[in-house]
Each structure stands twice: as structure tokens, then as C-alpha cells.
Structure 1
Amino acid sequence: MCNGKNHREAFPQESKWRAKEPLGLIHSNICGPMQTPSLGGTRYFITFIDDYSRMCWVYFLRNKSEALHVFKKFKVMVELKSGYHIKRLRTNRGGEFNSHEFVQFCEELGIERQLTIAYSPQQNGVAKRKNRTVMEMAKCMVHEKEMPYNLWCKAINTVVYLLNRSPTKALENSTPFERFSGRKPGIKHLKEFGSVCYPLVPGAVRHKLEATSAIGVFIGYGIYDKGYRILNPITQKVLLSRDVIFDEHGKWDWEKHKPESFDEAATDEAWRKAMENEISMIEKNQTWELVNRPFDKPVIGVKWVYKTKLNLDGSIQKNKAKLVAKGYAQKPGIDYNETFALVARLDTIRTLIALAVKNNWKLYQLNVKSAFLNGVLEEEVYIEQPYGFLVKAKEDKVYKLHKALYGLKHAPRAWYGDIDSYLVQCGFKKSTSEVTLYVKCKGNSELVIVSIYVDDIVYTGNSQELLQEFKSDMMQKYEMTDLGLLHHFLGMGVIHSDNCIFLHQRKYASTLLQKFGLQECKSVSIPLVPNDKLRKDDDSGAADEAQYQKLVGSLLYLTATKPDIMYATCLLSRFMHCPTNKHYGTAKRVLRYIQGTLHFGLEYKRGEETILIGFCDSDWSGSEDDMRSTSGYAFTFGNGVFSWTSVKQQCVALSTAEAEYISASEATAQATWLRFVLEDFGEMQAVATPLNCDNTSAIAITKNPIFHQKTKHINRRYHYIKEALQQGVIDLLHCPTKEQVANIFTKVLAREQFSYLRELLGVKSVHNLKGSVNV
């Protein structure tokens, strides 16, 4: 009878029960996600409010799953500070608060849980109202000073700091800080959020003629430090200072010195001069000529792009104006024929480094300034005259480009054509196996090898005369920067010691950990958990696809010097679409492994032999979704691998022998290519390349030319290995499974075996380098 009469009772305006001592009851709630990540990459914040004092603490999270970790930190801190213990915790029923780990943690410590009823946020009103107040105040502060949205967490921190020191009706006009700590808070130090300020530059880090202060923006107070938090708007770095001069009426212009249009830039003499310099450089480079407007060809527009380099005090160091073609209007087949980026394979770069180490050659580096502007165009391309620089009495004419401009789709291709023709003219021979590789020989023994990656050039050789001649010619032809010995290349650090060269990506790995909020995480000894299979559907819930793709993409780049995470990363890359929480958790475990191996990299020892040695291996039906196997191979000169892979096979193998046979065939193709490259380097492989395989059946199939009933279904492309064996390109040998280096690229291994094979790969700690080190 009450089906149509039931209704919701009113919620009481004030709670009938209040805690009688600090930490008797803690209110908590999470707010987010924010559309704009903070400077630290966080998207959520969680508040903890003490019911007795209404003191509030705020923490920032990348994901809601970090709630338990944050609560543990808060509990230790607040209990030590107050001398009391948390007795009750009131939250909603969100998964972050209701997980098995969270419930178990509270039960073990005797913390009483108070969970709200579904669709009844009013039962957690203290936390809900606090979050609303904090958000509204933070938004007002950000918009008042016209600050960028990625500073929202700094504003929220400041809001909580101020609310804790402001009287509240819930405490009869007392402040939360006073009720919690027993002493009145000081307020003389309070300043207006977002104000322009000038922190003192200590005398120890400046000379007598330097400015005594730098410009900054006030973004809050040091909670555990007695000082103000200042953001340098130029470098985006945060510093703490107690000696600060404030301009509370000032407002930092976040778009300072950057015009939005030509008309705006033309009113400033400095910008006008910057644009004139750009036009002068273009004409000096003989980039274009003024011609009549064609009737059968499209004319592309151009635009000005403005950039400013500032000093630390906010003053202008240099204005740069670039003229950019509107390449998005170009049509293939009409305005250009092909695009091409001059990018060397990482395998080629590592092979060159390994070869140089073996032969005791030194590696050098050059950088081409404005590389794309040197490219000579083969196609007819016409652009409009730049607005503001129309030639008098010839306003109806257009420019015909002889050389490329930034923004053209085929500018990289034009640059490649220019430098390719110049190197050939200088006597270099282009490799037929790697188009970015050039070799110049003098006599039978002297040579110089050059590898190009867009505008970065790495070169080495055994003749100082040829090396110096190459550098002089390049610096005479192009505007170059001589970077000396190779120390940094494509995000990789190169450390030279007496007996080896060490490659690492320590800086990139540290940035990656910080980006995903794991810079202080607990490390693990292996990247994957043995016997823990990954599949597409595991009922663990959907993860953030964009965040997962960013993480896996970053890990793929890290494999350039860390082959020990190659299998884990390639396994995770199979789930780039619709990843689950388990996939994301596994990816974060790989980051925890990286945390423990930050100082690890690839070591290449010096020596005389340059014999190519290969290893190949496979699992069998390792993929849970399609039962396909995973192939892996590695190549070395005896220490430190320089070429490796881990890839899922394209067909289902019906036996272990077939999977190993396919893996060996794929490794043979790579061995053939490496032999070609080494031949171009002047290192002819006189003997067959040893290819180590731990499966005797696969070796027997390879060496037996007779047709076999059990191999008739194998794709003909994989039988290439038999021909390579007969021609003496490779020699398939048996090696014990424990010594099979490629095993680390095909499956999850136990810790002892993983560490042993990692050592064989040449992945070692930088602290183990012997001899003097030059960084």
C-alpha cells in the first residue's frame, strides 16, 4: 500500500554529533578529474577534514587509486603531529575508498568506517561543502590574476592554507588552526595569490654586477618550509624564498611579448626588426624570386610565427619571427610528390657505436642549424608575398621558391636531397641498406662513416685527417654547431670511459617516473610477474585509454637503451585499444622496475674482434587471445647487444619446433641486413654468422633439405633460412636454454634467470664502469 506514498526524509541542517577530541572523526572526499592537468600531472585532489577542529589537509592525485597510499601518509603525519589516533573515517562508497586493501587496512588498525548510502551525498556534507568552497575560491583566485589553468593545484593549496587560518561559524569564530594546534596563527605573512614578486637571489649564486632579485609569481606558502613558494614564469620552476618583495597590485602577463598578429607586431620596433632580419636571411639564402602570378599553379599563403627568449628577470633577450608556409593547403601530386624524413634506425646508430668501441674509434657529433631551409625544391611552389613586406609597385606578383620554407610538407625531403647530393659530391658512398648512412674511403685502410638523423650528424672513423676534412667541409657548406664528442643523442646519454662506452636514458626515465607520479615508488626486481597472463578481457574494468597509450609509448622509446623491458613493453602494446585496469597496473609495475634500475644502461666494451653473433628464441602459444607465439632475437659483437626485438608471430604455430623455426627465420633476415650494413662500414663478415638456437628440432628442420610432412603448411617466406644456411650467410648452432640471451624477449622469467640474462645482454649499472669516465 506504500508503493506510491514513500518519500525521502529531510536531512538535518546540523549534525547532532560532534567529535570531542582531535581525529575522533575524519571526513574525506575526492574532487575531480580536472580537464587540465597540474604542473605535476595530477587531475584530482582529496581533502581530509578533522570533525573536532575542522582543520583541513589536501593531497593531489593522478588517479583515484592512489587514495589508500595518500591516506596512509596522512595518517602517519597527523597522528604524530597531534598525539591522537584516527578513530573514525567518513567517506562515500567510491571504489577508491571501498577497495579490499582500504577496508583491510582500516580493520587492522581498528578505524571505524562510516560509509554514506548510495545517492546520498548529504551524509558526507562536511567534506562535500569543503570541496565546493575550495573549488570556488580557487577559481576566483585563478581568474582574478588571469593565471593559466595548470596552476589550479597551487591555488587549491593556498585556499586550504587560508581557510585553516580563518574564523568559522562551526567553531564559534575560532580558527581550525588554533583549535587543532592550541595556538593562534600568524597572519602578517599573508599575501595576494598570483601577485608579481621579486625573490632575492642569494649572493653565493651571483656575481657583483648581477641583479639581486629575479621576477616571479607568488603561488602559495611552504607548508613544511618557512618561506613563500615562487614560480618563475619563464622556466616554470618553483623555488622557496623568505626574502621577497611583493607587487600585490601587479599581474603577470602570461602572453607577454608575443604578438597575435602582424599588425600588433608592427607597432613594436623590436618585433619589426626581428621580421626584417628573417626576410634578410631568406633573401641571403636565395630562397625565392619574385615572379608573375601563375594561372595553372596554386599559390600558398604564409604567416608569421613569433617566439621570444626572455631573461630570468623577464626582460627580452631575443625576439624571433619565423615566416612559415601554410603547408596544410598543399595537395599531393600537385604541390609535392613525396615526403621523407631523414631518420636513421636506432639499430644503425647502436651498430655504429658498438663498431666504433670495438675498433677504438672516437664518435663525434654535428648539428645543422635551420636544416630544412637548405633544401632545394624540385617542384614548382609559389607563395604569397608576406603581409607587411609587399614589394612596391609589384604587389600583384608572388614568390617562386627555390629552397624550402618551414611548414612545407616536402621540406624534409628537399633537405635530404640537398645533403645527399653534397655528400656524394664530396666522395661519400651511400649505403644501399641504410639510406642515412654514408662511407668515404681513402686507400684500403682509411675511412670515415657518417650517419644522419634529420639535422643531427654522428660520424666516426679511423683517420683523423678524413674526420677533420669532413667537419671543415660541412661547416663551410652549412651553418653548423660543432658538438665535439658524442655525449647526447636523441635523448640518449653517452658516457666515455677508458675501456667502454655506456649508453643510458637516465634523465628520460626520471622524467617519465615524475610524469606518472611514481618518482618515490617502491621498486621491484623484475618488470612482470611470473605466471600472470594478460588478455584483452579480464573483468578488471576499463582504464584511461589516452593515459595508457602515453605510458606505453614512453616505455617503447625507453627500450632504446633498456632491452630488459623490451618484452614487457611489447606485450603491453598489444592492448593499446580498450586497456583494462590490470593492463594499466602492469604498465605501472614496469615503471617501478625502472625506478630500481635508473642507473642501468648498455655497456659496450673495447676490443678487436668484430664477429657478428646472433641469438634467437620463441615461446609457444604465449598469447592468451589468439594463441600466437612471440619471437625474439639479439645480435652482439661478443658483449653488449646492439640489435634486438620482441614481436608476436603472424601465424599460429602448431608446435614448439615450428615457433622456433619461424623465429630463427626472422632472425636470419635481420642478420642478413646487419651483414650488409657492416660491409658498408668496411667490416666484411668473412665467415657465416653464428645464430644460436636452443631447439634441436628447429635446427634439424633447417639443415634437412628433404620435404617433411609436418612442415608443408609453413609459409614459404620462413624457408628463407634454408637458403641462407646453404649460402653461408648464417650457421645455426645449438646453445643451452640457460645461455639463450633471446629468451628474455619471449616470456616472463624468474628473478634469478632474468638477472643473469640481463647481465649477458650487457645491461649493467653505471656504477660498475671501470677506468676514468668522461661525462
Structure 2
Amino acid sequence: MIRLSSFDVGQLELLFLLLYVDDMIITGDDASGISELQTHLHRHFEMKSLGPLRYFLGLKISDTSDGYYLSQAKYASDLLSSAGLTDSKTAPTSLDSDCRLTPIDGVPLNDPTLYRQLVGSLIYLTVTRPDIAYAVHIVSQFMFAPRTTHHSAILWILRYVKGTLLHGLHYFARSSLVLTGYSDADWAGDPSDRRSTTGFCFSLGDSLISWRSKKQTVVSRSSAESEYRALADTTAELLWLRWLLADLGVPQHSATIIHCDSQSAMKISTNDVFHERTKHIEIDYHLVRHHVAHGSISLSPISSADQTADGFTKPHLLGRFQYFFSKLKLGFTVPP
């Protein structure tokens, strides 16, 4: 039996925005259209109404007058129990600011099974917890042969989650539908192979909808190159988001602003004079230039201190991490 929950108007608008059925567009505020869709599905599937959406695959969905909250508090609580963290000790940040993990530090774990299970669970937790994205990105690199230092980092993340159990994504009811992005890179930040880390995030109005923390595939020979590679990844994500929003009836009529704190990378994207200095950058990274020239994106300078994506590229001290956390506009949900 396929069990489908019925949605109220706001929830359907949040989760689907638009739904195409037999050349007919059904929007979240179309009660008759929703009813017709349910009737249409009943003809083809055996369904059972479970009432308004509250939980889905470990996610809790709460609606209030100012918007929606998505959290995984119960999932995180179960994860802490499985990890055996029954004390009250918590961590102030998602990762120690001095943490620089390598594949050879510490002693190999006798049984890596629990480590791998915890990393996999934390990866799923990042669905509503972008504040742990960088930390989880780091520990996930050692799943093949984890060591004691890597396990200690896992425990640090879990203790941070324990102190922020009710945090989750906040989607604002009266936010604009203008897409904006932030792009950043930490040049040669990995101590073992000196590859850089790309970080980016996108917001639709005030609501965070996309983010990433990922190690770059090759070593960059300059900070400008690492920032430009990050811009290319950010641009690829932006193009997909613009296509998706247009398909959902929320087209972006003007160039999407991407905030970048590297003047060199911004100049490379618009100035052919820099070509000789950037021959070693693969051709496909010049897609940034193409879309700047064609008006899909607009690069905007921003200070490193105000760069939201910086939190996806490196660990930070408490004050800086709290600032990063506030820029994400995460919400606090009621207990599960």
C-alpha cells in the first residue's frame, strides 16, 4: 500500500510550490485543485490519509504564523543515544577551531563500524543542519580507515548537536523570492594534500535553500584559482536553481547576485587580460565568464568578515562561528 499524507494549504505550498498533472498546474492555495489531484491519485493507487504533514523520514515540519520550521530533533536525539552520549557535556562549535585532521594521526580503530554508522547518520542530519556541514564533510573523508583522532572529532560534533538539539531550518512566510548566493574557498586548507575547500550557499529571500562544503578535486596554485573554482561550482548550482525556480513558476528576471570576497577571482571572470595567468585552469571553469557576460549572474564584492559561505570552508573560534550561525537564520523548534 502506498501511504500518502494529506497536506494543508501551507504545507503543500512549502513542499511542492507547483505540481503538474495532466497539463494542469495546481498551486498550494488551490483547494479544489488539490482535491481533484487526490481523486486522480485514488484512481491509480490505494491510499490512506494520514492527516496534516508533521513527520516525514525523520524530519519534523512545524508551521507557525511566521513560516515553517524543519528540524530533525528526534532523529538527532536517537543518534546521540546510539552513540552512548548520556552525559550533559556539550561543545560550543561544530568543530574545534584547531582541528586539522590527517589520515595518519592517532591509532587505527579496531572496529570502524560504529564510526561509519555515525558519519552516515550525521550526513543525513545535515539536511536541516547546515551549521555542521563543514565538520561532517571533514570526518567523512576518513571512513575507509578511521583513527582515534577522527573518532574524537565525531564526538565533538555530536556534543555540539546535543547542545543545539532543537535547531533547524526556518522558512519565512513573508520572505521575498529573490535568489542570492555566497561563494568562498579556503586555499590549500587540507594539511594532507593541500587541496582547497569550496563553500557556497543560496537563499531565497531570507530562507536558506542550498549549501555545500566540498574539497576541490585538484590542487590550486593560488588563492585566486581556488576562489575561481569555487565560483564555478557555485555557478553550476545557481544555474540549476534558476532552472528549477523557473519551472516552479518563480523565475528570476534579473541576474542573480553571488557575493565573493576575492577581487582576483572576480576580475578573472570579466577581464581577458588575466588569461595568460590562468591558462592552467581547466576550460570548463570558464563557464563563470560565460554566464557573467550573458547576465545570468552578477558578482558582488563582500568583505571576508561578512562572507556567509566562510563557515562552510574552515573551522572557527566561538565568536566567528556564532556569527556564521546567525547568518544562516536557523530557527528553534518546539521539542519533539
Could you tell me the TM-score, scaled by structure 1's length? 0.41
> Which of residues 163, 180, 185 is equivalent to 1:618?
185
Q: What is the CA distance between 1:541 and its match in structure 2? A: 4.0
Structure 1 residue 607 corresponds to structure 2 residue 202: no
The AA in structure 2 aligned to 1:478 is F
What's the secondary structure of 1:703's corresponding residue?
Answer: coil
> Which of residues 671, 681, 685 is equivalent to 2:248?
681
Instruction: Give the Cα–Cα distance (whole angstroms) in 2 for the partners of residues 487 and 705 of structure 1.
Output: 53
Q: What is the CA distance between 1:686 and its match in structure 2? A: 0.2
Alignment: residue pair count: 325
User: Which residue matches 1:547?
Assistant: 114
What's the secondary structure of 1:472's corresponding residue?
Answer: helix
When residues 485 and 703 of structure 1 are mapped into structure 2, their CA distance, relative to the original with a 3 A threshold, is: farther
User: Which residue matches 2:4?
Assistant: none
Instruction: Give the Cα–Cα distance (whole angstroms) in 2 for the partners of residues 468 and 706 of structure 1.
Output: 60
Instruction: Give the Cα–Cα distance (whole angstroms) in 1 for the partners of residues 43 and 106 of structure 2.
Output: 63
User: Which residue matches 2:202?
Assistant: 635
Contact 1:693–1:734 at 8 Å: present in 2 too? yes
Contact 1:544–1:579 at 8 Å: present in 2 too? no
Structure 1 residue 596 corresponds to structure 2 residue 163: yes
Write the mapping of 1:416-455 to structure 2, written as runs, cut at 5 A: 426-428=21-23, 440-441=24-25, 447-448=26-27
Instruction: Give the Cα–Cα distance (whole angstroms) in 1 for the partners of residues 229 and 9 of structure 2.
Output: 37
> Which of residues 741, 748, 755 is equivalent to 2:322?
755
Instruction: Give the Cα–Cα distance (whole angstroms) in 2 for the partners of residues 543 and 555 of structure 1.
Output: 21
Q: What is the CA distance between 1:706 and its match in structure 2? A: 3.5
The AA in structure 1 aligned to 2:206 is N
After superposition, the C-alpha distances for 1:716-753 in whole angstroms (9 at most, x for unaligned) are: 11111110111111111111222211111100011111
Contact 2:108–2:145 at 8 Å: present in 1 too? no
When residues 717 and 543 of structure 1 are mapped into structure 2, their CA distance, relative to the original with a 3 A threshold, is: farther
Instruction: Give the Cα–Cα distance (whole angstroms) in 2 for the partners of residues 695 and 479 of structure 1.
Output: 55
Instruction: Give the Cα–Cα distance (whole angstroms) in 1 for the partners of residues 53 and 87 of structure 2.
Output: 32
Contact 1:364–1:486 at 8 Å: present in 2 too? no
User: Which residue matches 1:522?
Assistant: 89
Structure 1 residue 511 corresponds to structure 2 residue 74: no
Contact 2:69–2:331 at 8 Å: present in 1 too? no
When residues 543 and 693 of structure 1 are mapped into structure 2, their CA distance, relative to the original with a 3 A threshold, is: farther
Structure 2: which 5+ runs fail to align? Answer: 2-7, 14-18
User: Which residue matches 1:486?
Assistant: 53
Contact 1:636–1:643 at 8 Å: present in 2 too? yes
After superposition, the C-alpha distances for 1:492-521 in whole angstroms (9 at most, x for unaligned) are: 100000111001000000000000100324
Write the mapping of 1:67-466 to structure 2, written as runs, cut at 5 A: 362-364=10-12, 426-428=21-23, 440-441=24-25, 447-448=26-27, 461-466=28-33
The AA in structure 2 aligned to 1:427 is D
The AA in structure 2 aligned to 1:589 is W
> Which of residues 553, 558, 564 is equivalent to 2:125?
558
User: Which residue matches 1:501?
Assistant: 68
Instruction: Give the Cα–Cα distance (whole angstroms) in 1 for the partners of residues 142 and 37 of structure 2.
Output: 47
Contact 2:62–2:333 at 8 Å: present in 1 too? no
Instruction: Give the Cα–Cα distance (whole angstroms) in 2 for the partners of residues 499 and 492 of structure 1.
Output: 19
Contact 2:268–2:274 at 8 Å: present in 1 too? no
The AA in structure 2 aligned to 1:558 is L
Contact 2:175–2:207 at 8 Å: present in 1 too? no
What's the secondary structure of 2:323's corresponding residue?
Answer: helix
Q: What is the CA distance between 1:482 and its match in structure 2? A: 2.2
User: Which residue matches 1:671?
Assistant: 238
The AA in structure 2 aligned to 1:701 is I
User: Which residue matches 1:206?
Assistant: none
When residues 496 and 539 of structure 1 are mapped into structure 2, their CA distance, relative to the original with a 3 A threshold, is: closer
What's the secondary structure of 2:48's corresponding residue?
Answer: strand
User: Which residue matches 2:103?
Assistant: 536
When residues 511 and 676 of structure 1 are mapped into structure 2, their CA distance, relative to the original with a 3 A threshold, is: same
The AA in structure 2 aligned to 1:646 is S
User: Which residue matches 1:150?
Assistant: none
Q: What is the CA distance between 1:488 and its match in structure 2? A: 1.4
Contact 2:178–2:252 at 8 Å: present in 1 too? yes
Q: What is the CA distance between 1:485 and its match in structure 2? A: 2.9
What's the secondary structure of 2:113's corresponding residue?
Answer: helix
The AA in structure 2 aligned to 1:636 is S
After superposition, the C-alpha distances for 1:524-560 in whole angstroms (9 at most, x for unaligned) are: 1102111221000014343531111111111001000
> Which of residues 726, 747, 751 is equivalent to 2:293?
726
After superposition, the C-alpha distances for 1:16-73 in whole angstroms (9 at most, x for unaligned) are: xxxxxxxxxxxxxxxxxxxxxxxxxxxxxxxxxxxxxxxxxxxxxxxxxxxxxxxxxx
User: Which residue matches 2:5?
Assistant: none
Which structure is larger by alpha-carbon Rg, 1 or 2?
1
Instruction: Give the Cα–Cα distance (whole angstroms) in 1 for the partners of residues 219 and 327 of structure 2.
Output: 30
After superposition, the C-alpha distances for 1:621-650 in whole angstroms (9 at most, x for unaligned) are: 111111100001101113231111111101
Identity of matched residues, %: 36
After superposition, the C-alpha distances for 1:231-279 in whole angstroms (9 at most, x for unaligned) are: xxxxxxxxxxxxxxxxxxxxxxxxxxxxxxxxxxxxxxxxxxxxxxxxx
The AA in structure 2 aligned to 1:709 is E
Q: What is the CA distance between 1:609 and its match in structure 2? A: 1.9
CA RMSD, Structure 1 to Structure 2 (Å): 2.1
After superposition, the C-alpha distances for 1:270-317 in whole angstroms (9 at most, x for unaligned) are: xxxxxxxxxxx9xxxxxxxxxxxxxxxxxxxxxxxxxxxxxxxxxxxx
What's the secondary structure of 2:50's corresponding residue?
Answer: strand
User: Which residue matches 2:218?
Assistant: 651
The more displaced of 462-471 and 747-756 is: 462-471
Contact 1:559–1:566 at 8 Å: present in 2 too? yes
User: Which residue matches 1:578?
Assistant: 145
Structure 1: which 5+ runs fail to align? Answer: 1-280, 282-359, 366-422, 429-439, 442-446, 449-460, 768-772
When residues 362 and 738 of structure 1 are mapped into structure 2, their CA distance, relative to the original with a 3 A threshold, is: same
Q: What is the CA distance between 1:608 and its match in structure 2? A: 5.1
Instruction: Give the Cα–Cα distance (whole angstroms) in 1 for the partners of residues 97 and 34 of structure 2.
Output: 50
The AA in structure 2 aligned to 1:580 is R
Contact 1:524–1:593 at 8 Å: present in 2 too? yes
Instruction: Give the Cα–Cα distance (whole angstroms) in 1 for the partners of residues 52 and 239 of structure 2.
Output: 31
Instruction: Give the Cα–Cα distance (whole angstroms) in 1 for the partners of residues 178 and 269 of structure 2.
Output: 23
Instruction: Give the Cα–Cα distance (whole angstroms) in 2 for the partners of residues 706 and 462 of structure 1.
Output: 52
Larger relative contact order (CA 8 Å, sep ≥ 6)? 2
Instruction: Give the Cα–Cα distance (whole angstroms) in 2 for the partners of residues 765 and 499 of structure 1.
Output: 13
